[in-house]
Structure 1
Amino acid sequence: METTISLSVPAIHYYVKARQWASDLEFFKIETAFFYRLLNDYFIRVVEPAPLEAIKEMVSKLSTLEEDEERGIKSVGDQLKQLELISENSVTENLDELASKQVKLENLMAKLNQEYRAVKNELFALVESAIRDTEIIKN
């Protein structure tokens, strides 16, 4: 007969939040790849003359965002692994340690969300500007 180990209420909360963050990070990763394609495959071809400095700066910001996403994926993955080990009774639950890691993850994800939104807003402003410039050139 299989025995089940129950997690404490805080540990369950940490697990649920970590799963949500993992999902958010996966979405960020997919959308960041799209942003790269937008800049590299489409944007430079459409805009004449291309605002190369703005594009280079945006690529740099996307690169930093991507590094932070990877750091987030690793940190959230570590937290999930720890919680899974606790649920399997492979390691003892240490709420102080879990809470400390959770606070660090909360801060990391808040910073990443803020950074992600800022980069996305700048990218969209760059695209809007390019569209306006292209329309002016055509007229």
Structure 2
Amino acid sequence: MGLSLPSPAIGYHLDPAAEHVRRVEDETAIQVLLEALNDPDCRDILDATSDVALTAAEVSETCDLPLSTTYRKLDHLTDAGLLEEGTRIRNSGKHTSEYRRLVESVIVSLTPSGETALHVANRRDAERIGSPAQ
């Protein structure tokens, strides 16, 4: 899966001042984000949507998940600010939602004072920078 940290993870540097990086400070937002990353199905969805936007049906098929589970996971990932939802325009006029991974990396670190710091680097090519978790 494509979400593993570069090896070795120690020494990996993320510039928190970069415009595509945001610090997540709200405890509820941190919890939602970490719960999503702890879920293997959510990680599979993030991997599947890293290169191409997929509809819920495509995610369901690609990740071998029931459609009802897929919708729950997509909602959770979108609420966590890890996926963005767009609209796939169809010639038939029956448009559908599609999803793609919004983030490039999530870094959890400890500050010198022992507090947890969480930084999210959004993909530089994302149409939308930021999320409700900001």
TM-score of the pair, normalised by structure 1: 0.26
Structure possessing the higher radius of gyration over alpha carbons: 1
Pick 1 or 2: higher relative contact order, CA cutoff 8 A, min separation 6.
1
